[in-house]
């Protein structure tokens, strides 16, 4: 019988035939796909014809098409709907894929052909896009160690293989800790919780078969519990469990993995001739150097810290007024900040949530994309990996643009957080290949028959991930290696963070923020209060984020610490971290940094992109119309359609005419007047 992963997919839009795929199909499919890739690489390296762009660079672009198709299906499942078999496969695949990558980068004959094309590029009459792909291909080989020889090449191969194993283990340990902990709630434990939190806790209890409501470590449940629970003892217990993910001892403890990862990254950088891993990693980013990153973060840190400390003094007085002695603790902050928000803005989340229905917010994201870029979204049936997954056909002027895949609800088999990925990326080299784009979130699933309700932060997350999706869907390049979000890490968050601004456009909320029971639009007074509170508690939010980014940078900008937890504590002390706020992601559960290389030395990139997104949305505001068609067209033509075909700074300058400063960011966060 033909392995369904290797057969032609006779499915709508060529989606993976998930109903026909079993977990037992993946290992043989990966083995077969790797064999195909290796044969393709050998054919390129041994080609007797003189190296040129088509027979070397374009051939490399095509070499892993089968492998990419198989892995696209597998890793979509592994991240969003894992099980013990899939986790074991991840552990098996990590060293296999690392070994294959090393084989390619160490293939001297192959690199010689790439180098020959590079040296002869002036005579090849290449397009600007081809010149960019050639440069990136050669740079990728060099940064992967293609110029190393002997023991150095062997050492780098071993380092990369071990790092791939560590990243997989880190992710799986974190998922195990998140999946394994929950706190049962009796009737006396529900004090202060609004109906939507109780309903979410009951739904979580049903999933855990706990016989009643529970608090889990899903952000969509634990954050509102910390906001509303009157039980300080239970808030402390839940918060400490949340903060202890990856640091509970035993097989799932990530602290030793983090230390080994940092040491190996340092070794990797030194083998390649860099002073530190941060120097290596930031060389290809917009920021360029660790000093530039630290300068940006510290420009934001000081006003954010001042704002947070002023807020902490107020919240501590509220704590004492409730009869509790001692200092404000991290498990108190959200509780008293929620009470203060109600006092200052006459606003609480329980009042807001009925107006922020998941389905209506999806409609809002689609409607904005239609007004800005002419995209239309029609629900379709097709193969999915879980019953909660939804599919849409995306068109423009009647032409198919993409398939959009939405997977919105938290479950025990899904890793935490929210993300966008392309199960299949846009490219034209192998035909007009249109993308399959996924948005995966962890919103609280409602009780059966009830609408899913979001917090305002959840709604922003939905818009954020949809901004990434637009970057993938509107990609218009020839080569997959530069398609969609294949851009500098500190540029990739620009489209996502920019798209969040349209959620704040009053006319969007006036149309789509409708009550779950009455269907009536959000009252204008409530809408104004909600938007007026948009920067409320921004000192806290900025401090917990920037602290994480500074710790990430400190880990990689210099010698690897033998004890990352001690180094984390030292960095936080150096910057004067407010005691009642903790890092958004402490080291043992800092998946952005330790689950892989993606955001290592790069967690700052959200802030770097925010400098641009605040300035970019101002381009629309300056026209007087947040949906100005000319500005939207320029945004698509310069940023959204270009992928990595042009240097990121040049793309932004083409859109805006210049690069921005930090002032717009501070103003947008309400920190411009902080001391």
Residue 667: pLDDT band by 50, 70, 90 thresholds? confident
Q: What is the mean pLDDT of the chain?
A: 95
Return the pLDDT at 412.
87
Amino acid 674: pLDDT: 59
Catalytic residue among 87, 267, 338, 465: 465
What whole-number percentage of the chain has pLDDT above 70? 100
Domain ranges of the chain: 12-147, 181-245, 354-532
Query: Residue 463 and residue 589: Cα distance in Å, rounded?
Result: 25
d(CA 640, CA 495): 7
* Tokens, residue 672: 């411009």
Tokens of 448: 């059966």
Interval 413-441: pLDDT, tens: 998 889 999 999 999 999 999 999 999 99
Mean pLDDT of 192-213: 92
Strands 399-409 and 419-424, how do they pair? unpaired
The CATH T-level fold of domain 354-532 is 1.10.1370
Q: Using the predicted structure, report yes or no on whether residue 30 has a pLDDT greater than 90.
A: yes
343 is catalytic: no
Per-residue pLDDT averaged across 328-341, rounded?
A: 97
pLDDT of residue 564: 97
Tell me which of 189-198, 233-242, 316-325 is least confident: 189-198
Residue 455 in tokens:
């917090």
User: Is the pLDDT at 673 greater than 80, yes or no?
Assistant: no
Mean local confidence (pLDDT), 89-106: 95
Kindly state the average pLDDT of the residues 141-148: 95
pLDDT at 670: 87
Question: What is the pLDDT at residue 333?
Answer: 98
pLDDT tens, residue by residue, 551-566? 999 999 999 999 999 9
Residue 586, both tokens: 């402490």
Q: What is the pLDDT of residues 378-398, one digit of tens each?
A: 999 999 999 999 999 999 999
Asked if the domains 12-147 and 354-532 are classified in one and the same CATH topology, the answer is no
Mean pLDDT for the stretch of residues 133-156: 96
**585-599 pLDDT, tens per residue?**
999 999 999 998 889
Sign for the pseudo-dihedral over CA of 119, 120, 122, 125: negative
Domain covering 12-147 in this structure, CATH number: 1.20.1050.40
Distance (Å, whole) CA 387 – CA 383:
10
């Amino acid at each position: 019988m033909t392995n369904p992963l290797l057969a032609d997919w006779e499915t709508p839009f060529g989606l993976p035939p998930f109903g026909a795929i079993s977990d037992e199909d993946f290992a043989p499919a990966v083995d077969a796909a790797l064999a195909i890739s290796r044969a393709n690489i050998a054919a390129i390296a041994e080609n007797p014809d003189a190296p040129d762009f088509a027979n070397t660079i374009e051939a490399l672009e095509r070499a892993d098409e089968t492998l990419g198709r198989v892995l696209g299906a597998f890793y979509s499942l592994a991240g969003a709907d894992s099980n013990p078999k899939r986790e074991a496969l991840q552990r098996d695949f990590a060293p296999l894929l690392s070994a294959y990558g090393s084989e390619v980068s160490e293939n001297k004959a192959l690199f010689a052909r790439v180098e020959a094309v590079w040296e002869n590029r002036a005579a090849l009459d290449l397009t600007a896009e081809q010149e960019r792909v050639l440069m990136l291909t050669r740079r990728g080989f060099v940064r992967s160690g293609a110029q190393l020889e002997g023991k150095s090449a062997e050492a780098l191969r071993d380092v990369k293989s071990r790092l791939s194993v560590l990243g997989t283990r880190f992710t799986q340990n974190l998922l195990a800790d998140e999946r394994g902990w929950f706190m049962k709630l009796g009737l006396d434990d529900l004090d202060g919780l609004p109906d939507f939190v109780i309903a979410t806790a009951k739904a979580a209890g049903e999933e855990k078969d706990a016989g009643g409501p529970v608090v889990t470590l899903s952000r969509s449940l634990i954050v509102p519990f910390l906001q509303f629970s009157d039980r300080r003892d239970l808030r402390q217990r839940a918060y400490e469990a949340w903060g202890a993910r990856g640091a509970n001892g035993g097989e799932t403890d990530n602290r030793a993995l983090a230390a080994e990862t940092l040491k190996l990254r340092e070794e990797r950088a030194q083998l390649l001739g860099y002073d530190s891993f941060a120097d290596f990693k930031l060389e290809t980013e917009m920021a360029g150097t660790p000093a530039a990153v630290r300068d940006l973060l510290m420009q934001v840190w000081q006003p954010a810290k001042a704002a947070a400390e002023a807020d902490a003094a107020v919240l501590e007085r509220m704590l004492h007024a409730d009869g509790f002695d001692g200092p404000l603790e991290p498990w108190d902050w959200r509780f008293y900040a929620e009470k203060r928000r109600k006092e200052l803005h006459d606003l609480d989340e329980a009042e807001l949530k009925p107006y922020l229905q998941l389905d209506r917010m999806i409609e809002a994201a689609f409607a904005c994309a239609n007004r800005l870029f002419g995209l239309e979204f029609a629900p379709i049936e097709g193969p999915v990996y879980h019953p909660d997954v939804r599919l849409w056909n995306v068109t423009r002027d009647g032409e198919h643009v993409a398939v959009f895949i939405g997977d919105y609800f938290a479950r025990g088999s899904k890793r935490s957080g929210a993300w966008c990925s392309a199960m299949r990326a846009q490219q034209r080299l192998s035909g007009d290949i249109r993308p399959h784009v996924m948005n995966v979130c962890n919103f609280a699933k409602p009780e059966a028959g009830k609408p899913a309700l979001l917090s305002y932060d959840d709604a922003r997350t939905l818009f954020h991930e949809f901004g990434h999706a637009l970057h993938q869907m509107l990609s218009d390049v020839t080569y997959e290696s530069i398609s969609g979000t294949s851009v500098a890490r500190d540029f990739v968050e620009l489209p996502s963070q920019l798209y969040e601004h349209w959620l704040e456009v009053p006319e969007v909320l006036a149309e789509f923020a409708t009550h779950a029971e009455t269907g009536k639009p959000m009252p204008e007074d409530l809408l104004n209060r909600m938007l007026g509170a948009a920067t409320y508690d921004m000192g806290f939010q900025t401090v917990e984020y920037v602290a994480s980014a500074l710790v990430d940078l400190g880990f990689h900008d210099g010698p690897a610490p033998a004890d990352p937890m001690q180094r984390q504590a030292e960095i936080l002390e150096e910057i004067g971290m407010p005691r009642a706020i903790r890092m958004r992601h402490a080291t043992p559960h800092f998946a952005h940094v330790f689950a892989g290389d993606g955001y290592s030395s790069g967690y700052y990139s959200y802030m770097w992109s925010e400098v641009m997104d605040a300035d970019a949305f101002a381009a629309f505001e300056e026209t007087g119309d947040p949906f100005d068609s000319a500005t939207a067209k320029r945004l698509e033509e310069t940023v959204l359609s270009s992928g990595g075909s042009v240097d990121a700074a040049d793309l932004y300058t083409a859109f805006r005419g210049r690069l921005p400063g930090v002032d717009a960011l501070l103003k947008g966060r309400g920190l411009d007047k902080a001391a």
